[in-house]
Structure 1
Amino acid sequence: MSDDPIELSDPDVVVDAATGKLSYRGEPYSGAVTQTRADGTWHEYWSYDEGDRDGDWTGRYPDGTMRYNGEFYRNRPVGTWQEWYPDGSRRLEDVYDIEGMLLTHSAWNPAGEVIEFEDERTRKGISPDAVPADDPALRWDDGEGRMYYRAEPFTGQQFRRPAPSSPITDLAGYTDGPTRGWFLDGTPRYTGDYADRHEVGRWCEWFPTGNRKEETVFARDGALLTQTEWDEAGTVTARYGENQD
């Protein structure tokens, strides 16, 4: 690892635009990279390990006020990233997990008012009053085919996590509304809608690669109209109904 920072403007510095990896004199670089002003003060300080963005990243305004600060781990942003206005008031805060998945995003205007907020629930279209699937007040009645919540028929949203610290992977609406599923990395796994307690419209399912796996179309009364299935290579393996390309 280099003890002395190198300048980003050094002609021996090469940054791969696709991967973000940095090499110096033809080798993956470990150490600090700076961008320095004419007066000798730096306004960017970035850390690398074997070419990967790894460690503290900081930027400052000309007067030395912090402009942004965050941390990378193996090319992924992790932990809390923050940005500030020139007067030192907060501008943005993004929180990532160890895998680099964005957990929450907040932004403020110069007056200190929140102008943006997003977390996993808002990103996935989950209502603020949605109920976790392991809530003991939820009860499914097999005889009626109905979900109850606190002894009343449940008409809200239920979400599920495979483990307490895991991302949300499933969303169901009772008795009408969307049903959604995601892989652990947040990519869509399936999507569809219910109305009058049966499937309606277009239901889709995907492989982890993002390739489509199944598409089913239902009439407004729940009747199955068409269904198509694909393998992971994108070849149609099954087909039901007409007008399937």
Structure 2
Amino acid sequence: MTLPRIGAEDLEVDFDDGERLFYQGELFTGEVVEYQGSALVGLETYRDGITDGPVKQWFEDGTLRAEGNMRMGFPVGESRRWHPNGTLAAKRITTEDGHRPLAELEWDENGQQTRSWYAPGARQE
């Protein structure tokens, strides 16, 4: 099944006070894309107006900037972010319900780890 896709800049996109996304006056289910010029720089998946599913961002040159998954508006599982040179910048691991971070790791542009935090009892990599 192919999800409907709309642009983030579309004039018929609106948000309510609860940050739910509406398109043409209805809660939106599908993909929202964002462009800078002709470059795709963002993609978010929504269900009933709430981010739910894959989320990706790219730098203008097409290099992956960040990716993760959302469930009912919360980040779940593993999400990653990269530096412009392609080196991993950060990894965050969250419980599958999105309510508790389990680990947060960061690296500089040379790949040297600068931060390592694990929740008590969380599995360390």
Structure 2 SS opposite 1:168: strand
Q: Deviations over 1:35-92 (max 9, x none)?
A: xxxxxxxxxxxxxxxxxxxxxxxxxxxxxxxxxxxxxxxxxxxxxxxxxxxxxxxxxx
Describe the shift of the 1:218–1:153 C-alpha distance in structure 2 as closer, same or farther (beyond 3 A): same
Residue equivalent to 1:169 = 41
Aligned mate of 2:13, from 134, 138, 159 = 138
Quote the offset at 1:243 in angstroms: 4.1
Quote the offset at 1:128 in angstroms: 6.5
Residue equivalent to 2:115 = 238
Counterpart contact for 1:228–1:244, Cα < 8 Å: no
Q: Deviations over 1:16-45 (max 9, x none)?
A: xxxxxxxxxxxxxxxxxxxxxxxxxxxxxx
Cα-Cα RMSD: 1.5
Superposed, 1:5-84 pairs within 5 Å as: none
Aligned mate of 1:203, from 79, 83, 106 = 79
Q: Which structure 1 residue ranges, 4+ long, deviate > 6 Å from structure 2? A: none
Q: Identity of counterpart residues, as a percentage?
A: 32
Quote the offset at 1:129 in angstroms: 2.6
Consecutive unaligned residues of structure 2, counting only runs of 5 or more, are: none
Residue equivalent to 1:193 = 69
Partner Cα separation in structure 2 for residue 204 and residue 152 of structure 1? 31
> 1:173 is aligned with what amino acid?
T
Q: Deviations over 1:120-160 (max 9, x none)?
A: xxxxxxx663101111110011x212111111111211100
Residue equivalent to 1:154 = 28
Q: TM-score, normalised by structure 2?
A: 0.85
Structure 1 SS opposite 2:60: coil
Aligned residues: 116
Partner Cα separation in structure 2 for residue 129 and residue 148 of structure 1? 13
Partner Cα separation in structure 2 for residue 194 and residue 128 of structure 1? 16
> 1:155 is aligned with what amino acid?
T
Instruction: Find the structure with the greater CA-based Rg.
Output: 1
- Whether 1:129 aligns to 2:4 is yes
Consecutive unaligned residues of structure 1, counting only runs of 5 or more, are: 1-126
